[in-house]
Structure 1
């Protein structure tokens, strides 16, 4: 808290079993705070399935500060809190909006956020709170979670942790003595200490239980401290008058503690709300602006001990007392808990709540609403349909086993033929998600063709992407293509997505020369179609255009993919779009821009908690010739990376070792890629020129024959300058005599017509090397000098050093290039500096990188210090 007040915020998880003193410790610290804005919330079992329920508690008092946020963030907050249009904010945008809201509050005073019972916080709130907790290092914000089992709460395990253990024997005896007005028998004390095991709440409860009722301490056969405490609370609850007991159950069923709502519900039940005071005197409740239970165990123990009839009565009263204009979803949830038999009106209300939850991004909550709606639907037309929707939502929420059980329940209901077909398709999707096996893939393709032909194209593209990125079975991608082609004849349609599917099928199944026409048509269709704005299929298109070596289209399409992902807020797709853009920048020799794109992709991945795809970063590292960084990245991939990573790693390793002069290692990598390609798995086509160079330099030219045939077929089918240049260069490397000179010159001429500067520079290097071996030293110097200068400026250090060695062998010392001051910056500092130099404000950079403006300013101060400058104007004047 002291650090947060000084602008060095942080987060902590106070962890320990129920009753160990987590809340008491936090309360004691909060009571000592001076000048803090304290925001509190607690997770509850009842609201685990209600999206953003915990954040409603936490942020409601400070929502007025949203006016200072960027429009996108303000709208995200307003959508979630029911203050604006019902839209579905991206989870990352919403997390940044919560961070921005707290940042605005912290401009006036430090902020302390306390989240109790984090194990019961709903998923949507938890994701946003963990997002915030990881980004407050430069803020006047402290975030404190209290949780029983940290390991079971996603996201909390990586935060600093303060574990609370039981009291030692001496302290436990002191607490027990202070809690009892009269001395206890020594044997009773020993039994209490043994049973409580240092748990402070247990000690206090046992002390109180012993005195008024004359019970000689708790029995030894208790299953756990929690069970014992719950028994104690239930015993105290059962001694209350019947009316008061019903009031306590009412409070247990209302998780927020809204006294106004509780009083209205009590009146509907014919109860006097003054009875809450009796429950407070019994040590069960704490009354204040909001009603709180003395401990969360009290709530759970009371609710569990109530009869089903009592629970239905209180939920019915709470539903009637809840304002339908402001809290429709809680009202629907209470009505669902009050229902005994099927009730179409309640089921329909739950279905509407599910729709709202989906709009707010709460898929798990939507599934819970829809599942209960299915249970309450009268037997007949709609029951199976609602259960199938619930199953689909459970699958989307990452619960395939639950989804499968719901499909089975739906299949036992009355279903029409479209519903039966939908159930078969859903089963196939579930099986595919669980195994990705060839059998599951075949079943999914068949189910799509039979059940949902209108959805087939998009689902096939989705399956293609999944296999390309995730399936390591040799030939799995080709097997998938064969299965899809059997079900999907080539179409005459000119729709870009149809042409893309044809391109992917041909690229997977046909020889390269036969695959190129469909690939070319797909690229042309996306470049000319004004409606080609769906972001996710363009990820697949990016790979097609990169393999086609159409440098102009590659820049256009990869840039458009990033722009579309940004403009549509498709943040789940933005990282891969940025990675394809980085590959295009690498080919253009714009390594710093590639690094910036990869840095931003990593920032989005870290914000989302997803594992980054390392292939493109490996490719950049290979071209830079950074062996240490390559080894670091390769080590983080694990023994067997995902297919897309493996393809990138093969290509990167071939490039890296060709630069370092380890041609055997380069050839091994390129041949591994070739074997994958022949087996029907994905490989980056650009690996074939690397294979030719490595084979020739290693004295194993016979290994390059198939690669040369691939390049020739590609060049004849699609004679673009880049493709033709690679083919001519490969022929020159494998050739002999005077023809080689002509081939090298033609290759360099074709490269000069492209944007691929790094390959142009490498072509001049290989030509210079050939000239030196032909004893044409003067001509060799010209080519090697040009190659060295180009490669040095680009940052291809290993290839530049190779050119320098060759240049020295001609008798010329290469000119040294000065140190780039930007090399002093960390990767994140360089990324931020580049965006600020381009004119972005701290707030805009924060939105892009999911950091607060204050954090951006902290990084900028470090940039200024390292570069010896003091203003944004000076930063813009530097070559970034």
Structure 2
């Protein structure tokens, strides 16, 4: 796996598995790709024909260890020679990287093999930086030269600079040769010289891991007839698509075995054989690569870099740098917040060098790390079961994890954990308690998965109440793993079956069914008629009143029904709060969002704030994160941007502390809320970084939860001056809400936002159509915030005196609403349009007031934009800078305030659902920004 040449049965010099990439290389270089003529004929043709652009292609092939780049390039060189080209090849080596002109010396030897044997053949470069003999050869008509350098990252700087000068001569004299080079992982010998050379390669070929189709073709070529999906998947999982590992695996596969069994046996046999190669690779990747890789190989599942650094004793910055190097080399992959080795075969090979006693020690250290950071018991238990018995906390951790496994519907997992607990030193009382739990778990230990167990529970349930409860649990489990259609099927069939016996329970199931149907476009369209026909008069029993009112309040906000009725229904639904103990359901969270859409974000904030306090008291992390992100959304509507940001950050911190990665469904709403807040504050780079880290910058699945990220991303794209991308997001949001029959602008005013971008792009007719449509809908909806937003858009699109009149109306409506950010927007826009209409004095006053309100809202992007316009008018407004308390982030202010109130660090951590270390880091930043030495000075500094 070192480079692409390795000993053993897997070594292949042909580009097997890289046929598609070879075709790309033919196209990029203009070499090969068909039946090559005889060399002499090609040489004659080259001598008589004018040189073409393809003769001077500059192509860079990038790939990690074992990706197949050497085999590709060598195949191309063979085809070039067959076409009569003069091929000069060199292979940079790390050991020779400090030897000036080491690469050019190889090219010189290839150009003049007779000179290579002479003692005086040392390269003496002339002033232009490359050997005279080489320059003369390149100037010879008809030679059609091709230079090839492998592993550019290890080439000496002098050779790289000479090659750069040579490539830059193309436009000057037309005699520059074609250049094919490869670039692999590893720290460059001369970063500056390499960085200056790389932009000259107009074509780049990145060798990604082999695709399932390529693996299937290789299996077929190796004699595996019609390789099935499981075999292909097993090969991909074992090798990570690495060509070298795959070829090694194929050579070792037992022809008499098929499927995953064959792969498992081959991996087991190859691990010891490949162990020395893996160790050599890791040693070449830096001093910390081997201990980090060994730890990851032993611990198995993806692990945070912080954990790996702690367990190995490597400083965290060094561990992060090493992980980056290994990732670039194709040896490591990131999975959410964790990292793991890129392939099972590689992991097994690395693990071979770890003694059994050290493996147990690593698991014990990992368990202690997670326990100290209040990780969920199941995460700690994963390592406890592999550690040596006797850890003082082992028995309790295993017991708690087993109880959680039983509650999650995985009694087989609970039984395994309890059996491990029995191997610990226990008192008689402890052993009796563990044996009792084990007996309960083993009653259903034959059930292979939680979902199948819940299906069985539903089949065996008796009576409408039991069946309703079982169906809702099963639907919730299916919903959690994105199996929405299966969840709908369970709810619909069970509701239909029990309706003749108990209509109230059937309606409770139907409420969940209709709510879940909104998640996915096709099911939303199918159930829309029933959703619209539903009425409170159908709630025959009190137990159905609140969930039905919650669903109907959501429906009203979606389609634009009477906002006063939406508020009434939401308040009825929330009589027992956002997370009632007698009927937990996400539909109540949506009732709070409906309040915001109906123009009562103040009420939404009140309910969400109560839910935050309740969740904090109960220690319920997921309830807390949902409640505080919902409160953040209410803060956003009211223009409390710093508070919105603080709430969203708190939600994400709490979720990440329990191992929920960015991008998981639980984090989507909080991420979108935080993107909105950061964009309003003018922190577009931070907002973009958050999108990148959460995996939400590309295509988003057409689920309802992703509609909010779309419009928030559209706002960010607008702030980034990317109008086409912003328009695509706004229109996509509109298409999705339309498919769900959500014409109301209460949740997502996508028409207004799209109209503004259309106008910016000069598409006046489409801008006017969308803006007028939104105004009509908003006037019908009669919520001040939405009317003001729609009128602002129409005023800007219309422009002129009429546009200012519309903006004047928007300002008057928004002034009376809680939406302070939207009010500041409309003021600023009225000021600009007024100035263009000659009303400079009034426009200047509007801009000053808009800047003041925007600053008060924490919308620093809007405030700065208004100040720029005032400066353009000749004003000299003071720029507001932040020092001291103003320099603190919202989360830092919250931590500082709690510390000033007398809370200990541990109490703050529990209050905010974060780790103790997180609190310590925040306070360190607070002290530095406030210029104080410690907690005793906080009260005065915050005053």
The TM-score with structure 1 as length reference comes to 0.51
Greater relative CO, 1 or 2 (CA 8 Å, sep 6+): 1
1:400 pairs with 2:451: yes
SS in 1 for 2:611: helix
Note if contact 2:454-2:470 (Cα within 8 Å) is conserved in structure 1: no
Q: CA deviation at 1:720?
A: 4.0
Note if contact 2:930-2:941 (Cα within 8 Å) is conserved in structure 1: no
Q: CA deviation at 1:577?
A: 1.5
Do the aligned partners of residues 873 and 150 (structure 1) sit closer, same or farther apart at CA in structure 2, a change above 3 Å counting? closer
Tell me how many residue pairs correspond in the alignment.
534
Distance 1:423 1:608 in 2: 27
1:303-702 aligned within 5 A: 328-332=432-436, 336=439, 350=440, 368-371=441-444, 399-401=450-452, 403=454, 406=456, 436-438=483-485, 441-451=488-498, 454-455=504-505, 471=519, 473-482=520-529, 491=538, 495-507=545-557, 511-512=559-560, 514=561, 516=563, 519-526=566-573, 533=580, 536-611=586-661, 612-613=667-668, 614-638=671-695, 639-641=698-700, 643=703, 646-659=706-719, 663-680=723-740, 684-702=747-765
Q: CA deviation at 1:549?
A: 2.8
Q: CA deviation at 1:557?
A: 2.7
Partner of 1:756: 819
1:716 pairs with 2:780: yes
Distance 1:528 1:419 in 2: 25
Do the aligned partners of residues 700 and 751 (structure 1) sit closer, same or farther apart at CA in structure 2, a change above 3 Å counting? same
Distance 2:462 2:569 in 1: 40
Do the aligned partners of residues 466 and 546 (structure 1) sit closer, same or farther apart at CA in structure 2, a change above 3 Å counting? same
Do the aligned partners of residues 423 and 587 (structure 1) sit closer, same or farther apart at CA in structure 2, a change above 3 Å counting? closer
1:65-104 aligned within 5 A: none
Partner of 2:875: 812
Q: CA deviation at 1:154?
A: 8.2
Distance 2:694 2:296 in 1: 32
SS in 2 for 1:371: coil
Post-superposition CA distance 1:320-373 (Å, at most 9, x none): xx9997665334367x5xxxxxxxxxxxxx3xxxxxxxxxxxxxxxxx24416x
Post-superposition CA distance 1:414-433 (Å, at most 9, x none): 98999889888887777666
Distance 1:753 1:201 in 2: 71
Report the RMSD for the aligned CA atoms in angstroms: 4.9
1:804-843 aligned within 5 A: 804-822=867-885, 829-837=892-900, 840-843=903-906
Post-superposition CA distance 1:431-482 (Å, at most 9, x none): 66666253652443232342486555665565667666xx5x5444444555
1:189-268 aligned within 5 A: none
Partner of 2:42: none
Given the alignment, which residue of 282, 299, 318 partners 1:150? 299
Note if contact 1:583-1:619 (Cα within 8 Å) is conserved in structure 2: no
Q: CA deviation at 1:541?
A: 1.5
Distance 2:924 2:477 in 1: 50
Do the aligned partners of residues 586 and 784 (structure 1) sit closer, same or farther apart at CA in structure 2, a change above 3 Å counting? same
Q: CA deviation at 1:597?
A: 1.4
Note if contact 2:755-2:771 (Cα within 8 Å) is conserved in structure 1: yes
Do the aligned partners of residues 844 and 702 (structure 1) sit closer, same or farther apart at CA in structure 2, a change above 3 Å counting? farther
Partner of 2:308: 159
Note if contact 2:791-2:809 (Cα within 8 Å) is conserved in structure 1: yes
Note if contact 1:400-1:434 (Cα within 8 Å) is conserved in structure 2: no
Partner of 1:4: none
Distance 1:740 1:665 in 2: 26
Distance 2:437 2:571 in 1: 51
Note if contact 2:821-2:857 (Cα within 8 Å) is conserved in structure 1: yes
Note if contact 2:642-2:890 (Cα within 8 Å) is conserved in structure 1: no
Distance 2:605 2:686 in 1: 26
Distance 2:556 2:567 in 1: 11
Note if contact 1:600-1:831 (Cα within 8 Å) is conserved in structure 2: no
Do the aligned partners of residues 879 and 656 (structure 1) sit closer, same or farther apart at CA in structure 2, a change above 3 Å counting? farther
Post-superposition CA distance 1:120-167 (Å, at most 9, x none): xxxxxxxxxxxxxxxxxxxxxxxxx99995215988995348689xxx
Q: CA deviation at 1:547?
A: 2.1
Note if contact 1:151-1:157 (Cα within 8 Å) is conserved in structure 2: no
Distance 1:859 1:422 in 2: 44
Post-superposition CA distance 1:47-105 (Å, at most 9, x none): xxxxxxxxxxxxxxxxxxxxxxxxxxxxxxxxxxxxxxxxxxxxxxxxxxxxxxxxxxx
Distance 2:443 2:848 in 1: 69
1:745 pairs with 2:808: yes
Distance 1:622 1:848 in 2: 28
1:751-790 aligned within 5 A: 751-790=814-853
Do the aligned partners of residues 416 and 553 (structure 1) sit closer, same or farther apart at CA in structure 2, a change above 3 Å counting? closer
The TM-score with structure 2 as length reference comes to 0.48
Do the aligned partners of residues 432 and 606 (structure 1) sit closer, same or farther apart at CA in structure 2, a change above 3 Å counting? closer
Distance 1:829 1:797 in 2: 18
Note if contact 2:900-2:935 (Cα within 8 Å) is conserved in structure 1: yes
Note if contact 2:579-2:623 (Cα within 8 Å) is conserved in structure 1: no
Q: CA deviation at 1:504?
A: 3.0
Note if contact 1:781-1:812 (Cα within 8 Å) is conserved in structure 2: no
Note if contact 1:599-1:831 (Cα within 8 Å) is conserved in structure 2: no
Q: CA deviation at 1:616?
A: 1.0
Partner of 1:259: none
Do the aligned partners of residues 462 and 579 (structure 1) sit closer, same or farther apart at CA in structure 2, a change above 3 Å counting? farther
Note if contact 1:721-1:750 (Cα within 8 Å) is conserved in structure 2: yes
SS in 2 for 1:549: coil
Given the alignment, which residue of 729, 736, 740 partners 2:792? 729
Note if contact 1:787-1:800 (Cα within 8 Å) is conserved in structure 2: yes
Note if contact 2:491-2:513 (Cα within 8 Å) is conserved in structure 1: no
Do the aligned partners of residues 813 and 163 (structure 1) sit closer, same or farther apart at CA in structure 2, a change above 3 Å counting? closer
Distance 2:700 2:565 in 1: 30
Q: CA deviation at 1:501?
A: 1.4
Do the aligned partners of residues 286 and 748 (structure 1) sit closer, same or farther apart at CA in structure 2, a change above 3 Å counting? closer
Do the aligned partners of residues 487 and 661 (structure 1) sit closer, same or farther apart at CA in structure 2, a change above 3 Å counting? closer
Distance 2:857 2:557 in 1: 32
Q: CA deviation at 1:575?
A: 1.0
Note if contact 1:732-1:743 (Cα within 8 Å) is conserved in structure 2: yes
1:793-812 aligned within 5 A: 793-812=856-875
Partner of 2:147: none
Do the aligned partners of residues 328 and 730 (structure 1) sit closer, same or farther apart at CA in structure 2, a change above 3 Å counting? same
1:17-32 aligned within 5 A: none
Post-superposition CA distance 1:786-808 (Å, at most 9, x none): 22233244343332333233323
SS in 1 for 2:881: coil
Which stretch of the first structure deviates more once superposed, 599-608 or 559-568?
559-568
Distance 1:822 1:830 in 2: 8
SS in 2 for 1:159: helix
